[in-house]
Structures are given as C-alpha cells and as structure tokens.
Structure 1
C-alpha cells in the first residue's frame, strides 16, 4: 500500500454541513492522502480478478503522539448524496478528540471516487473527485464495488505503517452510518473474520439487509439493502455494536425484521425520539431541505458518543455495553407501528431527557414526507400549551425533572458524564411561560 499526501488544489472534498471541533485548537492535525494498491474482488457470481485502485483517505489525528489514545476510528464514507460525506464523524467528533483517538475517512465505494447518482436527491456528483478538483484528485480510480470490502480493509490496515507509523495503534474500530452501515453489515458478516483487521464495529442506522456485493466497474445496488432477506450478525469474535433510530426500525429500512438478541459479541441500541438524520447533521442549513416541519432535534449524538466509548473499551477486552430494551412496536410484522406515550413520543428504547421530560414530540417517522430527504430527517412538533401546563407546574419543576432524566441516562450508560452540560443546555423552560 502506497500513501501520498494530497496538497494541491482547493483542499479536501468532503461534504459536511457542520464544521465539528476546532481541530488545531484541540491539538489535532488534518491531512488528506491518496492510497494506492491492489485488492481482490467478489461479485454475486463469484471472485473477480485482482485490480488496482487509487482512492483517498482523510486523516484527523493528535499532533503529539503522546496524546494518542491508541484507538484509530475508521469511517466508511457515505455516498448516498452522490459524493463522499462523513456523517458519523459529525456525530462522534467530540468524543474522538476528547478521547485522543485518531480518525480516518476512507473513500471505499465506487460512487465516492468516480461519482454517481444521488440516492437522497440533494447532490449530483457524477464527475467524481477528479472532476471536482483535477489538480488534487487526478489519477483517482476505483475498480467497482466488487472490490470495496477488500479495499476498505486494505487501506485501514495500511494506515498503521503508512500515515500513522508514529502512532502506536492498538485498537482499530470501523464505523459507518446509513448506506455505510449497510456496507459494514455485509463486511462484518462476510469479510471481517477472514480479514482480521478491525477490533470492533459501530454500525449506525442500517436497514433490514446488508449492501449487496457490487459489480466490477460500477456501484452496488443500494435498493437491494431495503428488500431483505433480514441479515443478522453471527459471532465473528469481535464486538458489533448496532445503533438504530426510529426511522431505521420502521419505514422502508424495516430493521425490526432483523432484530436479534444481544450476545457476548453483538449489542443493539434503538434510540427513542431520533431519526435517521437530524439537526446535528444539517446544522444551519435546515431550510435548504425544504421540509414542511422542523427536522428532528433528538439527542442521538450524545448516545452515539457513549456507544463509541463503550465499543472502545469492549474491543480492548472490557465489559460489554449496557443492554437496552427495543423500541416498542405493535401490530403485524408487515405493517407495524410504534407504541406511543401520552404525548406522542415512542415507548421503549434508549431514553434521553428530551423524550422522558418532553416539551415536543420527536419522531423519526414522517407520515407524509414531501421528499426522500425529509423522510430521513424526521420531525419536531411542539406540545400544545395546555399539555405543557398540565405536565409541569413551573419552569423550575420542569428543569428539575429534566436534570433528573439526564442523570438517569448517564447512570444507565447511555450518555457520558462529559455531555451532561450539553444535554442540560437543550432544556426548553422558555416554552412554559406561555403555557402557565
């Protein structure tokens, strides 16, 4: 594996609506590399001939090796917009930098390098990386998604002796959200044990099935990941941590059909009041989506940070993460719905203060979405004044209950103590003034 720093052109091309932590101020440096090598391929029809690739990897790491935790978090970059994005970094960045981890985003799929059609209708990157910035990305080449699984593993393995040779990497964690989670589902089931590269997996917002094996010279068929059959995880000897939102459990993701019991190597959290994507992802650009209702304002980012910390400890031989009940689903398997509480929030699952001490209904299921992207971003609906007045005698009483719920989530292991202030800052006592 050959790595070379990319310094020409306009800087890295990686979609993000929110900037994340100030890396320089936190003692981090960011460098983008080309990664060149050869890998084997596998299609649904069988093995594909060995092929060469030149892809890109973006690395964010502590400047001082002494500040490094020993953990490298490798994200399978998401291509659902028609170009690479790093949604999991957006959720996890605060925990990554405060823990001293290194992070690397890998352009693992054909569409991320060569360009292609957007699955969510918000971008058109048909020209690929070289078309975006030929000075920086000339020579990039992906041989097709028949090779994406071996490519991802090869780049991750090579980082130890390439760009991160001065960091003592002891734990390698693979993470990915949405389409990338579907790819990691397939990877964990079919490739992980053979490759023996990663020490653990954080699979966030998967569908009923994994991403299928792709072709030579083209992208994998994302639609097949929504059609089943249900995919569950065997014991691969490494921890697999699945985190799901309301959108992922129902809607066309239908992961409720792929539920499996927790084991010594598999853990699943389903998070109440959260959607496939949310305000944390879109930040100040919410209006660009064109959704008729405010997008979901759930607190899954805090839950995901806790999940990463649990996974890191688990992969190092520590205790498995705490268990959580699933979201409560009622009705027939072919057309289920969530069981809702008295204000309209879902019952069961991992609980956070915004659903246990609510001033809003937070949903991951949009009953009449105007677009695919709005279906993914969920909704936030304020509770009526009379409901608020009946639930809370005063803003002070609300704040006390909210703080108690935050402490309960921390005690249960679903939120980290370091995020308590962030949770408390999201309390909304101001809405009670008009309700009193």
Structure 2
C-alpha cells in the first residue's frame, strides 16, 4: 500500500445510499452512531508472480466511501472493528453481513465499517444478479450529486489494496477520525457471496503481506475466488463459476472462518469441490436447512422476488453470529471454535446431491432447531427453470400434516423437542446463549396438527 487514507465526512443530499431490506437494531437506543465518509488515497494493482504471490504493476488515485456504525463511547466498545467488504451483486452496494450480524454487533459492543471496495459500488453497473436492484445502477454521484460528487474508483484491479488501506487506517484513530475516541485493538474482515470470493483471494494472496486483519470471516463463497481484476472496470463474476477450485492456504498466521449454506455447497457455487480439512487456523461450517439468502435478509420484500415457493426460512443468522463471536475470541488466543461435520453428499463429481432425512431436510452439517425439530422442509436448492434470484433464496415447503402427526404427539411434544434441539445447538456452540430466546421464538407450534 502506497499511501495513507484521508477520511472526509459525507453529509447532505439524500443521506447514505446503501441497499437494505431490513432496518436492523435502533442504533441510537444502544448509544451507537452512524456516519459516512469519503476515503481517498493512492492504491496499487497487482499481477500474479507465481503460486500464492503477486507483484505490484501500477498505482492510481481513488476516492471511495465507507459507512461507520460504532459505539459512541470507548467504555461500550469491545475493541474489535468488523470491516465488511460491501456486496455489489445488485449493481449497488449492500451490507448483507451487517443484516445477519447486527444483533451481535450491537449487544457485543463491536464497531462496524462497510467499505465500498469494488468499482461497481462507486461507479455503478449492471450487477450480477437480476432481481436484486436496478438493471444498470448509476454512479453514486449520479444518484446524489450533493453528497457524492468527487468519488471515483479506478477499477477492481485496485480493490484489494483499497480494502486493506482502509483497514490499516482504521487502526490508529485520531480526534477527527471515523473511529475517534475508540481504542481499536482488532480488525476482522467479513464478506458474503461475491465479497466472500474477494476475501478468498485476499486471504490467499494479500493477508500475510498486508498484516492488517486479525481474522477473516468468509460467508457463502464459491469454489474459486475472484480474479485480480482490471483497470477501469468491474470484475467478471461469471468467470469465477467456471474457474478451478481454490482452497485457503494452510500457512496463514491469522484464523479464517468459512460459513457455507446448502446453495453454496452445490448449485453453480460448487464449494464441495473446494472442501478442505479444518486446521488450527481454519474452520469450515456448512449449515443444514439454509440458502445463500433467506427471509431474514429480504424481510417484507419477499413478494417482490416473484419466486414460485416461499424463500428459505432457515436459521443461519444465529450460526453466523456464533461464528463471529468465536472468531473474535479465537484472534485473542481464546478457544478454537467447535468443529462440525460437512453436509452429507452422494453421487459423482458431476451428479453430486445431498443425502436427505426422512422429511426431506439435508443430513449432516451444523444443526439448528428448525431442522432437528422440523415443521417444514428448508432447502438451499430449488428446481430448474426459476430466476437466478430465486435460486439464491432457496425454498421453504410444508411437511404434510400426517407426517407431523406421526413425528410429534401434539404441540407439547413438539415444543419439548424444539427446546431440546435449541439447547443442543447452544451447548454445541452453534447458537449463542444470547440468541436462545430468539431461536425459541422461531418455533412453529401453529403447524402442528391438533
């Protein structure tokens, strides 16, 4: 990295432009604040220089933006800043990890910073998934000239260095800094989907040399990582799905936590081709009954997707919060996170499919109450011929009442089984004790006959 980052607060106009279907916790009620900043400097682009290494080949100026949600007081701050690589699959920036993790971030006293690391987030573009946003989103400055004029991105060839430069500049906050007044001790990089693919590449090629982040949470990656990118344009994400599988290097000095859904293990993500054993620096969780995106992510806008079945109603939000908690403890010498068996597969490389239980939910993987005391079939896999957006959101289908009647001796029996499954998930470390009540509230007594 060739220059420090200069932060300038962004105000006026229509306010912060970032896609979100759900509002998240009330920040002011938790004595948090939200501010947006321009982040400018000079970034370096790289080319491959051999297995696992890169070489610098040029520099260019950039002026991107960051969104900051943080405790107001250092006394309420736990010392960790979660830095999210904002997702651009819609053609605009979104923060899917914040949506999943917000409850843990706020109650745990974390700081959170969303970084517009990629070209599309600043300069706009068609995105890679129809149905998530505008078909050809414009630049931030076009959307809101009063707020964003002056922002520019030199292309995704620079995205890895931009992300790291912002992270490094977050470590030493001064009085006029986005994190001013906070004692920053740890940085965790997080990203979902396309951003997870970027962090896969970042972990393998940049993390050791940059020495910026203390841990990385990679959520819903494909079998491969993003390429290094080009100048003046966005990365071609479609190329990732045709690329050879990539595992995480085993000599990293920092922990990496990979969390995957059913959609990511199969479909065109094909993560099963990049599976690798856990180590003392790598943990992989595959969550049963989950999809790449779900009802918690889309909230009241489910009907706008136009999918033929209700979207996935699994409980990956609890598992992700637990993963963040474990990763944070892991980075300071705490216990290594619990292990989990992978989702169970059968077939050949070309015909791989899940092994299902007696009601149709997948076997193996991280288990949550909604699959171990089921009332519905929760899947990350949908049939052929549906829009790409529906593939990502999976499905929820009813279990026939006669099957439920056989499985449960009434609603009281279901309640006992669901509570027992919740206790098992908490004791296993896959759901945090702080989320027990919310997990219990997910129980579907109304679907049990009688």
Task: List aligned pairs for 1:347-386, cutoff 5 A.
Answer: 347-386=363-402
| CA displacement 1:159-183 (0-9 Å, x = unmatched) | 2333213211111000000000000
Task: List aligned pairs for 1:279-318, cutoff 5 A.
Answer: 279-318=295-334
**d(CA) in 2 for partners of 1:280, 1:61:** 22
Counterpart position of 1:52: 61
Counterpart position of 1:21: 25
Counterpart position of 2:98: 89
Residue 152 of structure 2 is aligned to residue 141 of structure 1: yes
| CA displacement 1:50-70 (0-9 Å, x = unmatched) | 111000000000011111000
Counterpart position of 2:34: 30
Task: Normalising by structure 2, report the TM-score.
Answer: 0.95
Task: List aligned pairs for 1:323-362, cutoff 5 A.
Answer: 323-362=339-378
SS at match of 2:252: coil
**d(CA) in 1 for partners of 2:301, 2:178:** 34
Counterpart position of 1:129: 140
Contact 1:159–1:165 (Cα < 8 Å) also in 2: no
**d(CA) in 2 for partners of 1:55, 1:118:** 18
Contact 2:73–2:182 (Cα < 8 Å) also in 1: no
Between Structure 1 and Structure 2, how many residues are aligned?
A: 434
CA shift at 1:228, angstroms?
2.5
CA shift at 1:48, angstroms?
3.3
SS at match of 2:112: strand
**d(CA) in 1 for partners of 2:141, 2:43:** 22
Task: List aligned pairs for 1:21-420, cutoff 5 A.
Answer: 21-43=25-47, 47-122=56-131, 123-124=133-134, 125-160=136-171, 161=173, 162-234=177-249, 235-420=251-436
Task: Normalising by structure 1, report the TM-score.
Answer: 0.98
Contact 1:78–1:84 (Cα < 8 Å) also in 2: yes
Structure 2 residue runs without a partner (length 5+): 50-54
Residue 9 of structure 2 is aligned to residue 8 of structure 1: no
SS at match of 2:59: strand
Provide the alpha-carbon RMSD of the alignment: 1.0
Contact 2:155–2:233 (Cα < 8 Å) also in 1: yes
| CA displacement 1:49-92 (0-9 Å, x = unmatched) | 21110000000000111110000000000000000000000000
Stretch moving more, 142-151 or 41-50: 41-50
CA shift at 1:364, angstroms?
0.1
Counterpart position of 2:52: none
CA shift at 1:224, angstroms?
2.0
Structure 1 residue runs without a partner (length 5+): none
SS at match of 1:13: coil
**d(CA) in 2 for partners of 1:413, 1:132:** 43
Residues 1:44 and 1:121: Cα distance change in structure 2 (over 3 Å): farther
**d(CA) in 1 for partners of 2:385, 2:254:** 38
Contact 1:246–1:271 (Cα < 8 Å) also in 2: yes
Contact 2:73–2:181 (Cα < 8 Å) also in 1: no
CA shift at 1:128, angstroms?
1.4
